[in-house]
Every structure is written in structure tokens, then in C-alpha cells.
Structure 1
Amino acid sequence: MTQTATETAARTTTRLLHGYGRLTWPQARALLSGCACTWTDFDGIHLQDTPPDELPVAATHLWAWNRTGDRLVRLRFDAPGILYAAVLTPAAADDVLDAAGVPLAPGFPEEVTVTERRTILRDPQERSAAALPPEFTERTWHLVEVPGESPLTFVRADPDS
């Protein structure tokens, strides 16, 4: 789908990147505790205040964020039932994810420099897929990008938009 966007100036900050190897849905869902989530699957695009109860079928990614927006989660769905997770927290944060009981992958957490920007999605008149619902196009979205050999993008909806 082709989208145009109105963006704010980017800023650079430092955060802690927590990486997780192969996870089951119950383990991944523990990382989503207290988070709002968005994902796309065969039923369309979803935005809800709590994690989904069941593993989304046919989704490739799920993005989540806690109420204050200082913990961002990105799940990548691979083979059926196999997930990988990355979590960003403030650089000064203690290991807030120990409570989830999910072991970190070797080498994590890692301090990373990220680029943060805000954007508003706008549907163009010509598109190859269905229009995004107003609950998405009328919001401001916060994008946090981790550059590098395997770049990651974390997404969250701003609560005040």
C-alpha cells in the first residue's frame, strides 16, 4: 500500500535494546504485559489497548508499547508459532523485563543510538489496497528506528492523538 506521511524532524537518542531468541506465544505475550498493540492479519489492521489473547494468524509483525511509551516491543512472526522479540527501554532503565521470565539472547541488552520521529499517515486517492481506517490515519505515530546491518523499526500510536 502506498502511503504519504507528514513527519516531524527526527531526533537521536540512546536506548537499551533487549533481544530475544525463539519464543512461544505465551513467552512473547509476557513481554506484552501492560502494552497496547497494533498488527495486521487476514482480518485487517488492529489497534487495541491490550495484547491479543491468541497468536495473530498470518501476521508478520506486532508492535506494542506501554502507557508511558518508554518500553517499545517488536515481535516478528516466523514459522508457525515461532516468534522473535526486540524491546527498547530507556538507557537508564534497570532490566525491567526480568519479571516476564523470558531469557535474553546472548549479547543483550545492548545500548543503541536510535532515530525517533513522529508521522501522520495519509491515504492517497489512488491506492492498491483498502484505505486505512480513521483510527489510524487520524493519529500521530511515533517511529523509533534502530539503524545497522539488521535495522529495526518500533511503532507506537501517540495516546493524545
Structure 2
Amino acid sequence: MTTTTTAALVRHGRHDWHHVRHLLAGADCLWADLDGLHLTTGRDLPSATPVATHLWGWQQDESFRIRFDRANALVASLRTGPTTGGAPYDGTAVDDLPTTLVTVRISDGLPWTEDRHEVGKLPQAVYNARFELLEIAGAAPVTFVRAALRP
């Protein structure tokens, strides 16, 4: 099933891994690196920057997208629902950060099946979750990922 909603796209900027870990402390996180696929809480993120291209995190009505650039990371988040006041976003900055109203297409998906091991054996938690892909459409689409336990 696919739905469309509006969200506040918040550009947190370029940060070091220490700052990113602090920002994600209350989130659940997903990334793939040379050791496989990881699904963990922000409190359990590694102390060293993962050797990965992206990491996705989510908490309540906010989804994070982290793109690694060597020792630094570019951080953005999408805020939907109550965190935007339940009303259309009015164009003001969220938390004094550059913020833009965007249209987001949300679709359900489980990107992996038990017989697919491109990044090694997947943690059981991956199969116990329902994943949603949040895509900002356009010339260069951007995708955020979040998961919830299956009912």
C-alpha cells in the first residue's frame, strides 16, 4: 500500500560521528557495512564511524537519513504527524535548522527475504519488522527508511 503525506524536511548539516550518535541516541537504526546488516538502537551504535554509505534512523514521527562522507556525515530528517503540529508546515525553521515542506510517498516493503544474504545472514529482528520507505520524489529522489514491529 502506498500513501502520500507532507513532511518537514530538516537539514541538520554536516557533522562528525560523535554528534550523529548523540542525535540518534533515542532512535532505532539500520545500516549495512562489511560485517552485514545491523538493526539496533541508537544507544548501541558503534563508537567508530561505520564503514557504510548510509544509515537510517527513526523515532516517533521523525526519520533520519545519514550519508557518510569519510569521517563526517550529512544528516537530514523528515518530521511527520504531531511533530509538525498536525497542521500544514508553514515554512518556518524547525529547531532553528533549514526546513522545507516536501511531499513524501510512503510505501510498505520488506527489502530482504530469508534466502537473500548479500550482506550476510540477516538478524531475526529484520524479519520481525515491517519496513516503510519514505521517498521524496523529484529529479534526484531521496529515500528514508523506518521500521515498526509487525502486528
Normalising by the smaller structure, the TM-score range is 0.7 to 0.9
The answer for the alignment partner of 2:88 in structure 1 is none
Q: Which moved more, 1:17-26 or 1:123-132?
A: 123-132
Q: Are 1:77 and 2:68 matched, yes or no?
A: yes
Determine which structure has the larger strand proportion and give its number. Answer: 2
Q: 1:128 offset after TM fit, Å?
A: 5.8
Q: Are 1:142 and 2:132 matched, yes or no?
A: yes
The answer for the alignment partner of 2:18 in structure 1 is 26
Q: 1:88 offset after TM fit, Å?
A: 0.4
Please give the TM-score of this superposition, normalised by the length of structure 1: 0.74
Q: CA RMSD in A?
A: 2.7
Q: What percentage of residue pairs aligned between the two structures are identical?
A: 33
Q: 1:59 offset after TM fit, Å?
A: 1.1
Aligned residues: 143
- Match for 1:20: what amino acid? H
Alpha carbons of 1:55 and 1:109: their partners in 2 closer, same or farther (altered >3 Å)? Answer: farther
Alpha carbons of 1:58 and 1:138: their partners in 2 closer, same or farther (altered >3 Å)? Answer: same
Matched residues in 1 for 2:111 and 2:76: separation? 24
Matched residues in 1 for 2:115 and 2:46: separation? 35
Question: Which of 10, 15, 29 is equivalent to 2:2?
Answer: 10
Alpha carbons of 1:55 and 1:127: their partners in 2 closer, same or farther (altered >3 Å)? Answer: closer
Q: 1:62 offset after TM fit, Å?
A: 0.7
Cα pair 1:31 1:97 within 8 Å, conserved: no
The residue matched to 1:27 in structure 2 has which SS?
helix
Matched residues in 1 for 2:118 and 2:30: separation? 21
- Match for 2:51: what amino acid? A
Q: 1:157 offset after TM fit, Å?
A: 1.5
Matched residues in 1 for 2:125 and 2:111: separation? 11
Cα pair 1:140 1:157 within 8 Å, conserved: yes
- CA deviations over 1:14-42 (Å, ceiling 9, x no partner): 00000133211122223213101111112
- CA deviations over 1:96-127 (Å, ceiling 9, x no partner): 963xxxx73xxx20000000011124438577
The answer for the alignment partner of 1:39 in structure 2 is 31
The answer for the alignment partner of 2:103 in structure 1 is 113
Matched residues in 1 for 2:74 and 2:10: separation? 11
- Match for 1:50: what amino acid? G
Q: 1:136 offset after TM fit, Å?
A: 1.5
Cα pair 1:123 1:132 within 8 Å, conserved: no
The residue matched to 2:110 in structure 1 has which SS?
strand
The answer for the alignment partner of 1:4 in structure 2 is none
Please give the TM-score of this superposition, normalised by the length of structure 2: 0.79
Matched residues in 1 for 2:147 and 2:93: separation? 22
Q: After the TM superposition, which parts of structure 1 deviate over 3 Å for at least 4 consecutive aligned residues?
A: 94-98, 124-134
